[in-house]
Amino acid sequence: MTATSDRARVERYDPSEIEPRWQRRWDELRLHSTDLSNGSRRRYYLLTMYPYPSGDIHIGHWYIKTPTDAIARYRRMHGDNVFLPIGFDAFGLPAENAAIARRVNPREWTMSNIDNMRRQLRSMGATFDWDAEVVTCDPDYYRWNQWFFLQFLKAGLAYRANSAVDWCPNDGTLAREQVEGADRHCWRCGAKVEKRDLDQWYLRVTKYADELLDFSGIEFPDPVRIQQTNWIGRSEGGEIVFATAPSDHHPGGDEIRVFTTRPDTLFGATFMVLAPEHPLVERLTALDRRAEVEAYVAQAVTETEIERLSTEREKTGVPIGADAINPVNGERIPIFVADYVLAGYGTGAIMAVPAHDERDYAFAERFGLPIRRVVAAPGSEDEPLDSAYVAHSAGEVLVNSGEFSGLPADEGGRRIVDWLARDGRAKAAVTYRLRDWLISRQRYWGTPIPVIHCERCGIVPVPEADLPVLLPDTVDYAGSGVNPLTRDEAFLNVACPSCDGPARRETDTMDTFIDSSWYWYRYLSPHKADGPIDDDMVESWTPVEQYTGGAEHAVMHLLYAREFTKMMRDLGLVQQNEPWKRVFNQGQILGADGERMSKSRGNVQDPDELVRRYGADTVRLFLMFMGPWDQGGPWSGSGIGGVHRFLNRVWTITLDPHGREPGDADAGILPAGEDDAAARAQVRAAAHRTLRAVTEDYERFHFNTMVARLMELTNTLFRYRGTPIAGGAEWKEAVRLLLFMLAPAAPHITEELWERLGPPPGKPWASIHAHRWPKVDEVAAAEATREVPVQVNGKLRDKVTVATGIDQAELEALVLARDKVRAALAGRAPDRIIHAGGGRLVNIVVR
RNA sequence: GCCGAAGUGGCGGAAUGGCAGACGCGGCCGACUUAAAAUCGGCUGCCCGCAAGGGCGUCAGGGUUCGAAUCCCUGCUUCGGCACCA
């Protein structure tokens, strides 16, 4: 072999030729179809959030899906039986918007989008098991939503209630989690959310509030765990019973229950506030107050709540002309109705303690109500208050609190509750912010709720044998957003299953978050016709080992799914308490302008175009290389050329080890001071040290440093290219290790190069992706010498290269003899010499 | 306001108690080329200096430590979440 470039004889790296070819080949070999019944290998269920079929796969999908695929391939190389399914979250609003705007059928719109997205997903070269695909708008899927609903109904976990619900003018009702921001807008369309009184279906998820606070057995990212904890919002305190006082229009004696976290402040209650929706408002309001109270309540209830935009908003409210009696001291205190008290939290009524609550303080100031301090640090009892004193520090005592005065605040609070509890006027109580899950939606494109309204029998569940309740295929929106089911006589009219009389179907459909609350169980038996899930499969494959997806659903999907699994468990359908063992949230890729990518902003990055230009392997690797996976950030394609160059260099060292570049003065020459044997050892050491580090990076999903280390190894090999050791046994070993390490991340180029290298003599070809992950040769990776940084008083002054096993005394002597060290010491004798981290560093301390 | 995450070269980032800036982008210089592209090699935190070398440097200020980007306290900025939750 002459020492000239073989470039002319070596084909160029052409991903557009390689990638489709290997994707077809993998399909033919059924490399990605998981044998779910195979229990001989460790099962590894790797789940990634299924996409909404908006029409196009965008770069954000690549950002979550391709590293997930790298995990799948990495686990397979460890012998695991990996299941990586994919499907589509196919119900939901955009299909209806398209239908209304463009007069297309929602199903057709959705299915054609899915076709396009299947093609795009395949271009990633990901190992999705398409045999397990689930599409939620398929009746074979949504019938089981209906089946679950009927089971929940039987078990008392689903119920219908009339209450004030959050109402979006476009989307109809919303669950509480789907109302966002201080201005209370819809999570999906951004419209301002109103309140309406409606009969709606709920799932009784508050039953699980305490259990949902327990995250043992699942590894969630901390921010998600904290968000869920805050969302569930457990508060401990007491429920106190106040009685109404007799007056000229009312006999008194009605009970008003309030929830408080501060029973220690009970003596400071100087008025009471009921929420506008509180059931006692109407009954207690004095005749001469009626007109004003009704006007206030009417306004508060219909208010779009835009007025609440500012938290600085002045408190409003009106007195209802009745008093309550404070149970601790018999004092009469006036009752107000005010919208700063929420109907849905606690009991919808509060005792107001203006001295120790900011909101009550503001209200008292505005209405000239008394403010009485009942908690103080000792000695400051008489200090005047110019704002609510809410601080909670040790040593506070009760003041102005009758026989409880002088007690520490915490203890005083407990004693007050205990004392009132003796005759049933108080009890310890816990309240949650979490509400039951409102699942009714006034939309066509969702799962019909399987109940029938009969004039004689009331609400009658659809018999299980009649499932699914099919969505009609033809749909006429008549140009408006009103649910077309409400006009569809063929759908509406039905015989009552109970009395056979005329009846009407429920026209509400289910929140699409129902669909996504159990889809990974269905992946395990997507075609099962006699039940939603296959018990054996679920038993052996779930909880899911690893779930990957965005954090934007922290208190929506990620909470609903936990609730759903607990409901399924209570029905005996699954054994586990939690759906997944580990959840990882990747970051979000923003547009180049730092804003969310959206067609309207024109900042969307099209992955198809990048794939055409660089190939899927480059795009995959670039997304992994950009930065930490959980970080995301604004899109910038400026570094993608560097990643593409890296793959070209891998190509070159694999196929053309003896080539030399004319621009390199040192081409073909070993580094100074290295003989053949030393160079061979260097190459092996570099490869095995890289393997050690890269293995660790894969385990921890640190893909950016994984790629960086492979680049380093490639640069090292490039340095030895064209030298006498290139192409030798050690070189070949290093190249093979490089290809193995790169294979999960860049599957096509590594498969191609692996094939071109050819199988070992006498062995048939096998995919690189079926190869076992290599083992580190610790002897080869060991270092013979090490460079030790030398500090004087913590400042770097010199570096010495020593044998790895050198003992401390020897090292010290060596270091102290160095010119630079002696200069830095300037004749002073060392006080201490620190040997850090097993000889990693020496620090000489001198006064 | 409350909860959370984060602030490191021109840029993406690395280092989570021990050599700050790995790796890549960008930039500069060079090789190859008639030329350009591609490719290859070198340099590239800031300041002083011809150089050797020195000083400064991880949002700001303080602290702990032989030693701090990393731990603690105070403050600032950016991003995400919550929205009168009694």
Ranges assigned E (strand) in A111-229: 129-135, 158-168, 172-174, 179-180, 185-186, 194-203
Q: Which protein residue has its CA closest to C1' of B20?
A: A796
Model confidence at A607: pLDDT above 70: yes
CA distance A447 to A713: 54
Residue-level pLDDT at A394:
65
Closest CA to A98 of A385, A481, A515: A481
Strand partners, A256: A242
Q: Which protein residue has its CA closest to C1' of B41?
A: A664
Q: Rounded to whole angstroms, what are the CA distances from A297 to A277, A279, A281, A369, A741?
A: 7, 12, 9, 21, 68
| Dihedral sign, Cα of residue A381, residue A383, residue A389, residue A392 | negative
Residue-level pLDDT at A114:
97
A707 touches strand B (CB under 7 A): yes
Q: What are phi and psi for residue A205, nearest 5 degrees? A: -85, -15
Separation of A846 CA and B55 C1' (Å): 21
Which of residues A665 and A364 earns the better pLDDT score? A364
Bases on strand B under 7 Å from any protein CB: 1, 3-5, 11-15, 18-20, 22-26, 30-32, 38-41, 54, 66-68, 80-86
Cβ neighbours for A569, distance < 8 A, ≥ 6 positions apart: A575, A576, A577
CA A246 to chain centre: 54
Residue-level pLDDT at A393:
64
Residue A7: pLDDT band by 50, 70, 90 thresholds? Answer: very low
What is the per-residue pLDDT across A220-275, written as a single tens digit (0 to 9) for each?
A: 988 899 999 999 999 999 999 999 999 888 888 899 999 999 999 999 999 999 99
**Angle in degrees, CA A506, A200, A50, rounded to 5:** 80
Residue-level pLDDT at A303:
61
CB A432 within 8 A of CB A235: yes
Spatial strand order of the sheet with A458-461 comes to A458-461, A451-454, A502-505, A493-495
Separation of A311 CA and B1 C1' (Å): 9
User: Which residues in window 522-561 of A are less than 7 A from strand B by Cβ?
Assistant: 551-552, 554-555
Residue-level pLDDT at A165:
78
Which of residues A514 and A825 earns the better pLDDT score? A514
| 3-class secondary structure per residue, A410-478 | HHHHHHHHHHHHCCCCEEEEEECCCCCEECEECCCCCCECCEEEECCCEEEECCHHHCCCCCCCCCCCC
Q: What is the mean pLDDT of chain A?
A: 90
Model confidence at A306: pLDDT above 60: no
A306 touches strand B (CB under 7 A): no
Contacts of residues A471-479 at CB distance under 8 Å and 24 or more positions apart, as own/partner, are: A471/A139, A471/A444, A471/A445, A473/A105, A473/A107, A474/A105, A475/A99, A475/A105, A475/A106, A475/A444, A477/A96, A477/A99, A477/A100, A477/A103, A477/A444, A479/A100
Model confidence at A3: pLDDT above 80: no
Amino acid at site A674:
E
Span A805-813, average pLDDT = 86
**Angle in degrees, CA A20, A24, A27, rounded to 5:** 140
CB A326 within 8 A of CB A356: no
Mapped onto helix, strand or coil, the DSSP state of residue A91 is: coil
Model confidence at A838: pLDDT above 80: no
A543 upstream amide cis, omega within 30 of 0 = yes
User: Which residues in window 573-602 of A are less than 7 A from strand B by Cβ?
Assistant: none
For residue A375, give both structure tokens.
Answer: 């908690």
Model confidence at A74: pLDDT above 90: yes
What is the per-residue pLDDT across A83-102, written as a single tens digit (0 to 9) for each?
A: 999 999 999 988 888 888 88
Separation of A822 CA and B57 C1' (Å): 26
Helices (H), A124-255: 139-154, 209-212, 222-232
Separation of A554 CA and B76 C1' (Å): 29
- What DSSP letter does each residue of A383-398 carry, written as one string? PPPSS------TT-EE
Separation of A807 CA and B18 C1' (Å): 18
Report the nucleotide nearest the CA of residue A263, measured to C1': B86
What is the per-residue pLDDT across A530-539, written as a single tens digit (0 to 9) for each?
A: 999 999 999 9
For residue A807, give both structure tokens.
Answer: 């003992």
Residue-level pLDDT at A1:
31
Q: Which protein residue has its CA closest to C1' of B83?
A: A182
Mapped onto helix, strand or coil, the DSSP state of residue A253 is: coil
Span A348-352, average pLDDT = 95
What is the per-residue pLDDT across A512-568, written as a single tens digit (0 to 9) for each?
A: 999 999 999 999 999 999 999 999 999 999 999 999 998 888 889 999 999 999 999
Model confidence at A629: pLDDT above 80: yes
User: Which residues in window 429-468 of A are less than 7 A from strand B by Cβ?
Assistant: 431, 433
What is the per-residue pLDDT across A48-64, written as a single tens digit (0 to 9) for each?
A: 999 999 988 989 999 99
Q: Which protein residue has its CA closest to C1' of B67?
A: A794
Residue-level pLDDT at A128:
96
Span A763-790, average pLDDT = 92
Closest CA to A35 of A68, A80, A3: A80
CA distance A425 to A241: 5
Give A360: exposed, middle or buried? Use CB within 10 Å, 0-12, 13-18, 19+: buried
What is the per-residue pLDDT across A175-196, written as a single tens digit (0 to 9) for each?
A: 777 787 767 777 777 777 777 7
CB A78 within 8 A of CB A771: no
What was the ipTM of the complex prediction?
Answer: 0.95
What is the per-residue pLDDT across A655-698, written as a single tens digit (0 to 9) for each?
A: 999 988 877 777 788 888 889 999 999 999 999 999 999 999 99
CA distance A298 to A318: 13
For residue A561, give both structure tokens.
Answer: 């799914």
Residue A75: pLDDT band by 50, 70, 90 thresholds? Answer: very high
Model confidence at A820: pLDDT above 90: no
Residue-level pLDDT at A312:
54
Separation of A743 CA and B35 C1' (Å): 40
